Amino acid sequence: MTGIGHLSSAFLVKSKFKDVPLWILLISTEVVELVWIVLNLNPFGFSPPLEFMKIELPFLYIGNMKLLSQQYSHSLVGGILIGIVFFFLLKSLKVSSATRYIAVALAASGHWFLDLLVHDHDLKLLPLSSAPIIGPIVSLDPSNPELGISAAAPLLGFAIQAILSAIGAYVFTKNFEFPAEHGKRNFIIGIIVLNLFSLPIFVKGMMTLVIRSEAWMAGIVFADMLFAAIVILYLSKTVIAKESSR
């Protein structure tokens, strides 16, 4: 699942915790991905790396990214621990008095459950190298049952992401008003466009010339989530919680 898929889950959490700043929830949904990027780039020179992936070249689509080791960032317990650390970091920096632990925890742990819908056989419950690997939740390729939906049926994986994103956006627009002229319309258009921007990695051959290495993949993942988060924050900067939904 790409950036917009995970970031959209922040809309659901924001609708229940209206006083928590949206930017905090957006980071919370992707904080484990940020850890994943750092561990895969391995700037500290760990040998062997704490986490690593393998990109099959030529890179054709999302199924050519193999997450060989990601037990710290993409295990359920690991994600919860990362969310706890992020929460206390926010508190220590006194970023916002409205920060709620449960809101950050829901957003951070939700990342793992969204990945479980579409990932290959590469997720764990515990952040241990010896922990059993689980998934995929649904296998569509009898010849390779370890492939998840995004690898076995990439366009279906994209559709699932788009549907979940649409649900998050719908709940958000039902709970918040957009005072700016055409604000709600622009927000909806923005979410649609962000989903379309994520489509190329699900279509075989569209990213072949862009992704040439594992480092490039990590960089693109970061750029994707950063761009999507900035667009979302810009389009929702004037929203006001509806009194009737409290």
Q: Encode pLDDT of 65-78 as tens digits.
A: 999 999 999 999 99
Question: What is the rounded distance in angstroms from the CA atom of residue 5 to the CA atom of residue 158?
Answer: 9
In 3-state terms, what secondary structure has residue 174? helix
User: Where would I find the H helices in 61-153?
Assistant: 76-92, 101-118, 149-152
Least confident of 82-86, 147-151, 169-173, 242-246: 242-246
Across residues 137-147, what is the average pLDDT? 94
Per the listing, tokens 């904080």 go with: 31
pLDDT digits (tens, 9 = 90+) for 101-130: 999 999 999 999 999 999 999 999 999 999
Assess contact for 87 and 78: CB atoms under 8 A: no
Assess contact for 29 and 111: CB atoms under 8 A: yes
In 3-state terms, what secondary structure has residue 68? strand
Residue 130 lies in a domain: yes
b/e per residue 103-113 (b: at least 16 CB within 10 A): bbbbbbbbbbe
The answer on pLDDT for 225 being more than 60 is: yes
Question: What is the rounded distance in angstroms from the CA atom of residue 128 to the CA atom of residue 78?
Answer: 9
246 — pLDDT class (breaks 50, 70, 90): very low
Question: What is the rounded distance in angstroms from the CA atom of residue 40 to the CA atom of residue 180?
Answer: 41
Q: Tell me what pLDDT residue 245 has.
A: 43
Q: What is the pTM of this model?
A: 0.95
Residue 185 lies in a domain: yes
Q: Tell me what pLDDT residue 243 has.
A: 76
Question: What is the rounded distance in angstroms from the CA atom of residue 229 to the CA atom of residue 236?
Answer: 11
Question: What is the rounded distance in angstroms from the CA atom of residue 208 to the CA atom of residue 200?
Answer: 10
- Contacting residues for 30 by C-beta, under 8 A, at least 6 apart: 3, 6, 7, 111, 225, 229
Residue 246 lies in a domain: no
Residue 155 lies in a domain: yes
Domain count, the chain: 1
The answer on pLDDT for 244 being more than 60 is: no
Residue 149 belongs to what domain range? 3-241
How many percent of the chain have pLDDT more than 90?
95
